[in-house]
Amino acid sequence: MKIPVPRYHSPLGRLLPNTADIETIKQNGWCDQHILVISENDDRLDFVEREIVRRIGNRLYGSVPRSESHE
């Protein structure tokens, strides 16, 4: 008969941060505040949509040299 070993629950465990679902945060940001957070390299975008995102980002924040881009 196997008796489970009781696990010690450290009091520090409650101080660990809760992990957040980033996609849910993005969705709530859009629905609640009309803030869109999207990567130029998001696989859900087609070529035209990626180009639009890239152009908006460049216009608002300046262009990123291609060597620094996160491709």
Residues with Cβ < 8 Å from 30, sequence gap 6 or more?
Answer: 36, 37
Instruction: Return the pLDDT at 15.
Output: 78
Mean per-residue pLDDT over the chain, rounded: 86
Instruction: Return the pLDDT at 64.
Output: 76
With beta carbons less than 8 A apart as the criterion, state whether 26 and 15 touch: no
- 3-13 mean pLDDT: 76
Q: Which two tokens stand for residue 55?
A: 């152009």
Q: What confidence tier does 35 reach under pLDDT thresholds 50, 70, 90?
A: very high
- Ordered by start, the domain boundaries in the chain are 17-61
- 35-57 mean pLDDT: 95
Q: Which two tokens stand for residue 49?
A: 């949509």
What does each C-alpha distance from 47 to 32, 43, 54, 67 come to in angstroms?
28, 10, 11, 20
